[in-house]
Structure 1
């Protein structure tokens, strides 16, 4: 029979159920076109079990447009048409394939119309406006002959598909792109299927565009050419959802200017020519709450507004996470928002789910798509204590070179699993951070954490040394090369960029039991805070430092840390209306005793100076002078010029508060003479120069006062001493007022007020008062 009618059709060519039925009809023709009655008589005995089959049953089996076929019937038809067992097996395999694909929406999930627009669509006003504007730009513009391509990118669950669908529906409602709408899920991140083959997608698109299956070319390039030809002159939207790469979508982009292509992807599509990128971030709190309200109900959210804010915060404002949580809440009308917020805080990833959907599998898909080295980096990024990090810190965290770390970080940015808001700084969303930590093994977490903590400690030491500040070197060696700095400005910029991270690193070091590193890093961080006027933070860090020194059993370190704590408490209290300096004095006396007992002569001098300062604040001037003189005597015996200079400065301050300006000035000038000749701390010099300027102002020597204040202001700005800058601006304004130059005075007071307000210092009101009464008699201040 096969010799009479040529080669039998090959069932593997079927791309869908309709194509399979067409090939089955060709098989009947190949078999000599038996009538349905004749074929029914052949098929019946071949059924399992054998039975009578009516001709109408066979007519229905060959009818185009069927949604299902009976496998036993098809196998019997194939055998009745003369196929042997190997051929019959191929028809069976093709049957199973097309039915499996039919369940998933076709060979590549292609549809001839757009998915429904969600009633709960929320936010994205800026992005939506941009997409609409791109799609409706004037046809006579620069891109009149170019298809409009918008690439919507972002992390898993950020709402890319919903934005694309909503934008497409908005355009259709406005009467745009009404000729054709093509939509395909490219399965870039599908746990059950590989990414869609562009050739198969083109074949499906062509069938949607009316091309008969037998007329569709085999070659992908020829399919792409036919696809572009079929869309020429049509006003069409092509939605390419969940793209795996630029290569997957290139041939799916039509050529005509009347077409709009919307592409969504978790990966960066930066290599796609002519595409306008839209990088989606998570929602704002307002948008998150709005989505929660839309799904859960306004009254329910309004009744527990604070708990609602906790819920969206636990969801990290990720739209999918908020939507799942809201849907779960809607299905539990008896639940309170507080109870759900508590669940989320106790087990965030496990609690973000609704029905059979959950956030964890969505995040898992993105992670599993990464190469092994990138997976390793992602896991350890969750270990980093701070909110962002540099490539250098990532290298320390993972034990790689900086170049390797930077390349891997950039790959994670391309995968939209990291953000880069500032050049060279990388951020991990909170939900991704939680996911990364879960994936990391306990041993690799502990190792990486210690490695990066020690790296930060060495880097801070290098920065402070570059700034010519004497700090304790880290006791633990660093496995990775710490940051080094070629200039003062570079060191200062690094400390500013890493300031928030350093707070978290200190806390992580304390929790990890790295006591020596904790107290060393803590003392340095306390100094940075003090110099920047962050006294409350200085006190907080000093408390951590004291505890770490005690746990390390280091009495010398404990004594110095207690001195730091006493200073911070003293500075905080003396600025309050009714200061209570008892606790500060207690810490200072403990510091003196500990340093004395540990044989730490230098520490004892510092502690005596600190105790004397606090006693001075309490108006116990005689005892304060005794402490200062004891510190001076010890320093002179040791011939410690820096300590001698410091003691003269401190004695001068005591004379100053007793209004003995001549003695104060003499002590200050002696201190400056000594310290200026040394490589002394710039912060201390800045304060000392300010003290001298104040004495000159109060004694009416305005020209010298202005000269010293100008030097102080320059130093404060050069070294980033914001509090000193604010004080110097205020003082300079006062001097200008005394000289009768009110406009100049107002300028300095205004700048001072602004800085004080930025620091949260109540002295901003003093500057504002001076501004409001700017026509004062010279000499009032």
Structure 2
């Protein structure tokens, strides 16, 4: 029979509330009430539902629930209960996510209250260390350099915090000869709800007993026990290891006093601790240490045909110690397989985004303790196509405000589920990403995942548009029109901030373009690629530009958007020109010109003509170049497109200089400069000034040229346009040398050479090298 547990009251309309239960018996009563509420199905029916769900989830047959164990869940008078089975019973009776969450919380509370004290095991010694301890030299140096106080080892599940703490503890004990050593596993993140985080009062009870007190001498209450604990250790040199701590509240009462005491804490969270607390981040192994661990663990396993097999295995394990240990165990248990065979298997599993059970368990231990919103963010981060994200992108994924998202990210980083390699930029390790992806597919509806990505892509689309409006306001009419949306956050009205945002997000913006093109969002690709054109062009990112404009051209053609295809072809032509692929560039631009002609798009045709002029100029046919520019200029003037007119005049100035027509170059450049200043087009103004400097040098007006180059240099630097800086530096060096100011000229050419190397512009590098060689000759 079930006994006499109190049944929580229930209404006919609503299931019983487990949050009202104050003991295990009351919780069992609530479960019995739920069974009645659900129509009182038989225990056989409940068991069958549980096992059907388990089979669908891939659970092995030997883990199937039995009727007897299901019946046990409904019995009162018990000190222990299988929390996971209770949750499975609840799900079989009322499959509602939010209701299940209430049960999960109620189980945690009830089990913590009844089981914590009895289950705490404390030691007056350190656990045995690992004989063949691998790596961690830097971490050990940080730990053993401290004389006293608190040191918190922070890292994700499975990263080897406990092993490191125990090894460091043995080293410290050997060096300092502590009077007392205490160790406890605080179970901060145990997967079994039946083993909740250890209550500090229960831990103190165990510690005080180890210190010689009887049960009668130990007071009740955590405060009184903590005070007695500190009193007992006041004059002792004590080493305390608090393993797997859940948080500061759990740790604080357990800290020993005195300058001779040292406490090592391990946690997945960054615990603040008292003043002077040191934090040591325990990350995955280095590549070399990971290989050493594997080689030492499986010395009898042949390497096989690939001498780099250990490295491949280590990389696929993400250099995570737990994963490496799991794989090493698999290697040992698979006779006849070589390390190469295991590396090949891991490669295949990686392609299908599958995880070995040991690694998945380690990650699940961290995941299941997260609040629901944080779990959701982690799952949705797995779908983020870029290399990293900031709090604004996280807010878009979560559908929350930025402040809330930032808090969630900091907590995820604090629990080592995300990494922060650069301040404010967060990444998922490959293993965590794969784990989160599996969780997302199991826990989130497809429509929810699609909505999250839609919000994310909209964030990047509108952010890019706002940044480009700040950088190139005069070109706004050339960019795709977007529906009205509140101003992007962060504010990007300042050109420098806009450029910094674009630089930080460039890799992600490219990834979004590609992902959208290949996953049914062609309009997004077309828009974002067109918006990013000037940034990628002026910033010197031809590889990125080639990728996004190629995708944009292909998807535009597939959806029959000829205007978008023409734009993408023009942009591709520019990229091919930048890459020195002149034949391809001309082909793309001629196709764009033809499409625009058929569509009656005069502005698009003018753009194609102007860029044909640029390509022919680089290809060594300046006369043809000038002809195309004149055709483009006439169209831009007819359209009233002042930006197009100024850009074309700038190009004509450059071509005129090559044709040794400095007066024409000066005239075209001067007209372009006036228009750019009128439009407050800073980038165009800088380019026009640089071209005017070139024309003035040809006219031997070197003092005027120096002034123009210096003005151009300031503008390029303010915009962060390093290619422009390189050109202006080389021009300035030439003008200074012509004035006899050789040291200054050398300095400018050296700066240009360094910058050209950095941004990989061989033509400007060669120009700087030639000038420096010339200036170093005695007969210059």
TM-score, with structure 1 as normaliser: 0.78
Contact in 1 for aligned 2:480/2:530 (Cα 8 Å): no
Contact in 1 for aligned 2:252/2:273 (Cα 8 Å): no
Q: Which residue of 2 aligns with 1:358?
A: 358
1:397 aligns with 2:404: no
1:159 aligns with 2:160: yes
1:129 aligns with 2:141: yes
**How much does 1:774 deviate?**
3.2
Contact in 2 for aligned 1:515/1:548 (Cα 8 Å): yes
1:112 aligns with 2:116: no
Q: Return closer, same or farther for 1:565/1:336 CA change in 2, 3 Å cut-off.
A: farther
Q: Which of 545, 552, 555 lines up with 1:538 in the alignment?
A: 545
CA distance in 2, matches of 1:206, 1:672: 83
Contact in 2 for aligned 1:321/1:352 (Cα 8 Å): no
**How much does 1:271 deviate?**
4.7
Mean alpha-carbon deviation: is it higher for 477-486 or for 117-126? Answer: 477-486
State how 1:432-511 maps to structure 2 within 5 Å: 432-440=432-440, 441=444, 442-469=446-473, 470-471=475-476, 472-473=479-480, 475=482, 482-511=489-518
Coordinate RMSD, CA, aligned: 2.9
CA distance in 1, matches of 2:376, 2:644: 50
Q: Return closer, same or farther for 1:650/1:212 CA change in 2, 3 Å cut-off.
A: closer
Q: Which of 309, 325, 328 lines up with 1:323 in the alignment?
A: 325
**How much does 1:773 deviate?**
5.0
Mean alpha-carbon deviation: is it higher for 182-191 or for 641-650? Answer: 641-650
1:744 aligns with 2:744: yes
Contact in 2 for aligned 1:609/1:631 (Cα 8 Å): yes
SS of structure 2 residue aligned to 1:242: strand
**How much does 1:333 deviate?**
5.6
Q: Which residue of 2 aligns with 1:201?
A: 203
CA distance in 1, matches of 2:468, 2:300: 53
**How much does 1:194 deviate?**
1.2
**How much does 1:326 deviate?**
3.1
State how 1:6-405 maps to structure 2 within 5 Å: 107-134=119-146, 137=147, 148-174=149-175, 176-192=176-192, 193-297=195-299, 304-332=306-334, 334-348=336-350, 353=356, 358-405=358-405
State how 1:562-711 maps to structure 2 within 5 Å: 562-573=569-580, 581-680=582-681, 682-711=682-711
Mean alpha-carbon deviation: is it higher for 253-262 or for 416-425? Answer: 416-425
Contact in 1 for aligned 2:301/2:338 (Cα 8 Å): no
CA distance in 2, matches of 1:641, 1:777: 49
CA distance in 2, matches of 1:656, 1:219: 88
Contact in 1 for aligned 2:153/2:265 (Cα 8 Å): yes
1:87-108 CA distance string (max 9 Å, x none): xx99x989xxxxxxxxx99831
SS of structure 2 residue aligned to 1:449: helix
1:413-454 CA distance string (max 9 Å, x none): 333323334443333322222222211123322211121111
CA distance in 1, matches of 2:596, 2:517: 23
Q: Which residue of 1 aligns with 2:99?
A: none
CA distance in 2, matches of 1:759, 1:631: 31
Higher Cα Rg, which structure: 1
CA distance in 2, matches of 1:343, 1:660: 67
SS of structure 1 residue aligned to 2:265: strand
**What count of residue pairs does the alignment treat as equivalent?**
659
Q: Return closer, same or farther for 1:231/1:602 CA change in 2, 3 Å cut-off.
A: same
Q: Which of 513, 521, 524 lines up with 1:517 in the alignment?
A: 524
Q: Return closer, same or farther for 1:474/1:311 CA change in 2, 3 Å cut-off.
A: farther
Mean alpha-carbon deviation: is it higher for 362-371 or for 546-555? Answer: 546-555
Q: Return closer, same or farther for 1:200/1:562 CA change in 2, 3 Å cut-off.
A: same
Q: Which residue of 2 aligns with 1:754?
A: 754
Mean alpha-carbon deviation: is it higher for 535-544 or for 242-251? Answer: 535-544
Mean alpha-carbon deviation: is it higher for 561-570 or for 106-115? Answer: 106-115
**How much does 1:128 deviate?**
1.0
CA distance in 1, matches of 2:699, 2:305: 64
SS of structure 2 residue aligned to 1:389: coil
**What 5-or-longer segments of structure 2 have no aligned partner?**
1-75, 81-115
**How much does 1:777 deviate?**
7.4
Contact in 1 for aligned 2:117/2:199 (Cα 8 Å): no
Q: Return closer, same or farther for 1:420/1:272 CA change in 2, 3 Å cut-off.
A: farther
1:15-49 CA distance string (max 9 Å, x none): xxxxxxxxxxxxxxxxxxxxxxxxxxxxxxxxxxx
SS of structure 1 residue aligned to 2:245: coil
Q: Return closer, same or farther for 1:730/1:596 CA change in 2, 3 Å cut-off.
A: same
1:260-299 CA distance string (max 9 Å, x none): 2111111221154553222222333333333333323499
CA distance in 2, matches of 1:417, 1:317: 15
Q: Return closer, same or farther for 1:435/1:479 CA change in 2, 3 Å cut-off.
A: farther
**How much does 1:621 deviate?**
4.3
SS of structure 2 residue aligned to 1:264: strand
SS of structure 2 residue aligned to 1:150: strand
SS of structure 1 residue aligned to 2:776: coil
**What 5-or-longer segments of structure 1 have no aligned partner?**
1-88, 95-103, 138-146, 574-579
CA distance in 1, matches of 2:590, 2:493: 41
**How much does 1:548 deviate?**
2.8
CA distance in 2, matches of 1:569, 1:172: 66
**How much does 1:746 deviate?**
1.5
1:556-604 CA distance string (max 9 Å, x none): 111111111111111211xxxxxx5221111110010011112111110
1:705-763 CA distance string (max 9 Å, x none): 11111111111101111111011112211222222212111211121111111112224
Contact in 1 for aligned 2:151/2:265 (Cα 8 Å): yes
Contact in 1 for aligned 2:354/2:434 (Cα 8 Å): no
SS of structure 2 residue aligned to 1:604: helix
SS of structure 1 residue aligned to 2:236: coil
SS of structure 2 residue aligned to 1:669: helix
**How much does 1:769 deviate?**
4.8
CA distance in 1, matches of 2:495, 2:557: 34
**How much does 1:251 deviate?**
2.1
Q: Which residue of 2 aligns with 1:52?
A: none
1:302-325 CA distance string (max 9 Å, x none): 973544333323222322223322
SS of structure 2 residue aligned to 1:420: strand
CA distance in 2, matches of 1:528, 1:133: 49
Q: Which residue of 1 aligns with 2:58?
A: none
**How much does 1:401 deviate?**
1.4
**How much does 1:772 deviate?**
4.9
CA distance in 1, matches of 2:723, 2:359: 46
1:134-191 CA distance string (max 9 Å, x none): 1xx3xxxxxxxxx6211111211222111111101112233x2343322111111112
CA distance in 2, matches of 1:592, 1:416: 53
CA distance in 2, matches of 1:127, 1:474: 53
Contact in 2 for aligned 1:395/1:480 (Cα 8 Å): no
Q: Return closer, same or farther for 1:403/1:640 CA change in 2, 3 Å cut-off.
A: closer
Q: Return closer, same or farther for 1:674/1:132 CA change in 2, 3 Å cut-off.
A: closer
Contact in 2 for aligned 1:527/1:538 (Cα 8 Å): no
Contact in 2 for aligned 1:182/1:237 (Cα 8 Å): yes
CA distance in 1, matches of 2:163, 2:327: 17
SS of structure 2 residue aligned to 1:774: helix
SS of structure 2 residue aligned to 1:262: strand
Q: Return closer, same or farther for 1:249/1:775 CA change in 2, 3 Å cut-off.
A: closer
Contact in 1 for aligned 2:646/2:676 (Cα 8 Å): yes
Q: Return closer, same or farther for 1:655/1:338 CA change in 2, 3 Å cut-off.
A: farther
Contact in 2 for aligned 1:690/1:712 (Cα 8 Å): yes
